[in-house]
Amino acid sequence: MTRPRPKLLETTPAGLHCPIGGFYVDPVRPVDRAVITHGHSDHARWGCRHYLSARPGEPILRMRLSNEAEFEFLEYGEPRTIGGIQVSLHPAGHMLGSAQVRLEYQGEVAVVTGDYKLQSDATCADFEPVRCHTLVTESTFGLPIYQWREDVEIFADINDWWRTSAAEGKCCLLYGYAVGKSQRLLSGLDPSIGPIYTHGAVEKGVQAYRQSGVELPETMAVTRRIEMTGQSSETKLDSDESAEKSPKKRSRKRTAKLDWAGSIVVAVPSAHGTPWMRKFGAVSTAMASGWMAVRGARRRRAVDRGFVLSDHVDWSGLMNAIVWSEADDIWVTHGSTAVVSRFLNEGGLTERLIAERETDRHTIRACEIPSYWETATADSDVDDD
């Protein structure tokens, strides 16, 4: 094919840039105009003047970013023209408000997936395949070993663990990232087993989700329960944040009187191994993350159980997304970029493309682009997994 293709995207030190439209997608430096795929901190960064993002994520973005910035929110699929580029946002299935960014100019279409997954998730809209010429895809878990099970099976395992631990008189501590993963975990918990409590950072995310109309089981912040039972004189010391930094024996003694047996506490991973968790008495601990699929990850985290629950696309999902997009130009970022682009360039998908695509474009070119979003690692606590 020889038609000249307008350059919709380029990589720059500030991130993915649309030179015609004069904006960036998930910029890593402060810029004038940013289109944001979702509210995780490695995608929605401080300091830009104008942010455009998907409406369902509004409470999360407002919670995370400066109030002084200008915000604009679009419904999924709603077109908006910026500098001659038609921009629209389409569900990415990653977390509440997560969007793929579609750019169109003179018939040329590019899509930036941001983080995404194909598994269903009760807390956000399902991933929507979008056809394009150029697909910029993440590849956090872009290795054939990563194949996710369906949510229902994982939640059945989590609820079984909770039920068993409750019968043993223990409190369950379930760790997941504060915004996104934790709310997805909450959506799968069976409230008939016992009360559900939250770490302060998780509860803030819960409030943002509820504001956007997501239904979650009843929760109560751990600090709130402590206050309500009349042990509020030490509230400051018992608050989730300060207890980690300044444990006081007196306050721990007071809060230990509360009975947490049979309940589950959804908390951020950084709370594990801190004095904060001592208030709960006998506990069973678990981590929910895609990284739990990696041998030794549970042991390194020093938790009793590891549940493989990821908010990123797995290997087959990634291949499906590429086939469905009908793109012939694939930019791979964030994660296993070398493996994925080599697989595509060596014809790993060719047979499938010929069989499934109703098009003559059955060869694709892939390239690696800088992993702007890669501030989060397996052990980071700021983002998602």
- Return d(Cα 328, Cα 337) in angstroms, integer: 17
CA distance 105 to 113: 18
Among the listed residues 33, 40, 64, 301, the single contact to Zn ion using CB under 5 A: 40
Nearer to Zn ion, 40 or 225 (CB): 40
Cα–Cα distances in angstroms (integers) from residue 262 to residues 78, 162, 168, 268, in the given order: 46, 8, 8, 20
**Under the phi-then-psi rule, with left for phi > 0, alpha for psi from -120 to 50, and beta for the rest, what region is 326?**
left
Classified as helix, coil or strand, 88 is: strand
The candidate with the shortest Cα–Cα distance to 180, out of 24, 381, 16, is 381
In angstroms, how far is the first alpha carbon of the chain from the final one?
38
The residue with tokens 């068993």 is 164
CA distance 229 to 130: 52
Binding positions for Zn ion, 355-384, rule CB under 5 A: 373, 384
Shorter beta-carbon distance to Zn ion: residue 343 or 373: 373
Residue with tokens 């409750």: 166
Give the three-class secondary structure for 299.
helix
Per-position x/- string for 272-311, each x denoting binding to Zn ion as judged by CB under 5 A, each - no binding: ----------------------------------------
Residue 139 CB, nearest approach to Zn ion (Å): 11
CB of 290 to Zn ion, least distance (A): 12
One character per residue 319-358, x = contact with Zn ion (rule: CB under 5 A): ----------------------------------------
**With respect to Zn ion, which residue has the nearer C-beta, 231 or 375?**
375
Nearest approach, Cβ of residue 219 and Zn ion (Å): 22
Residue 115 touches Zn ion, criterion: CB under 5 A: yes
Closest approach of Cβ 361 to Zn ion, in Å? 29
CB of 38 to Zn ion, least distance (A): 6
Q: Min. distance of Cβ 59 from Zn ion in angstroms?
A: 16
User: Tokens 């629950």 map to which residue?
Assistant: 309
Phi/psi at 84 (nearest 5 deg)? Answer: 90, -10
Report the residue number, 90 or 254, with the smaller CB distance to Zn ion: 90
- Which two three-digit tokens encode residue 124? 């956000």
Give the interface segment with Zn ion, choosing from 40-48, 165-173, 185-193, 298-306 (CB under 5 A).
Answer: 40-48
- Of 185 and 264, nearer to Zn ion (C-beta) is 185
Stretch that binds Zn ion, among 21-29, 41-49, 52-60, 363-371 (CB under 5 A): 41-49
Residues 177-206 that bind Zn ion (CB under 5 A): none
Which residue has 């770490």 as its token pair? 199
Count of Cβ atoms closer than 10 Å to residue 226 Cβ: 21
Question: Is residue 121 a contact residue for Zn ion (CB under 5 A)?
Answer: no
With CB under 5 A as the contact rule, which of the stretches 3-11, 67-75, 115-123, 286-294 interacts with Zn ion? 115-123
Q: Site size for Zn ion, by CB under 5 A?
A: 5
Residue with smaller CB distance to Zn ion, 24 or 373: 373
The DSSP output letter for 170 is P
Nearer to Zn ion, 104 or 115 (CB): 115
User: For residues 234 and 384, which CB has a smaller minimum distance to Zn ion in the complex?
Assistant: 384
The whole-angstrom separation of Cα 229 and Cα 219 is 16
| Cβ-proximal residues to 233 (8 Å cutoff; 6+ apart), any chain | none
Catalog residues that contact Zn ion under the rule CB under 5 A.
40, 42, 115, 373, 384
